[in-house]
Amino acid sequence: MAKTGNSEGGARRRPTGAGRGATGSGKRASGAGEFGGARTPSPELTAKLEPRKGPTKVPLNTRVLASTEARLNWLVNDRQSTVTNVVDVALQEFFDRCSVPPADHDGQITEQES
C-alpha cells in the first residue's frame, strides 16, 4: 500500500483499493495485451507464480524504471499473479545465480563453510 502524508507530517496508509480502478487491478501498462507471439512459460515458472500461502512476508519498498514497472504489470496481468510473487521468484533466482546462501524460515543466513 502506498503511504501518503498527513497534516502532522507523519505517514498514513491509503485505504485498500484507493487510487485503483473498479476492479482493483492497479495500473495497467499501456499496450498490455497488444503483444503477439509471447513464449509459453515453463511449468516450473508457472508453478512458482501460482498464488500460495507460505512463509511470513515482510514489506520491501523500492523504485524501479518505468519500463520495468510496465513489464511487471504486464506479467502480473497476463499470468494472473501478484507483484509480490513475481518479485519474490525473480529475486530468489537472482540470489541463486549470485551464490547467495539461503536463509532459514526466520530470515537468518548461516554462512556455509567452504
- Measure the CA dihedral 26/16/11/108, to 10°: -80
Structural domain boundaries of the chain?
Answer: 40-49+62-105
The answer to whether 64 touches 22, Cβ cutoff 8 Å, is: no
Sign, Cα dihedral of 70, 15, 63, 101 = negative
CA 63 distance to own-chain centroid: 12
The answer to whether 83 touches 76, Cβ cutoff 8 Å, is: yes
20 or 91, greater pLDDT = 91
Quick one: pLDDT at residue 106?
81
Quick one: pLDDT at residue 47?
73
Whole-prediction pTM: 0.51
Per-residue pLDDT tens digits for 23-53: 444 444 444 444 445 677 777 877 777 666 6
Q: Does the structure show a pLDDT above 60 at 18?
A: no
Quick one: pLDDT at residue 107?
85
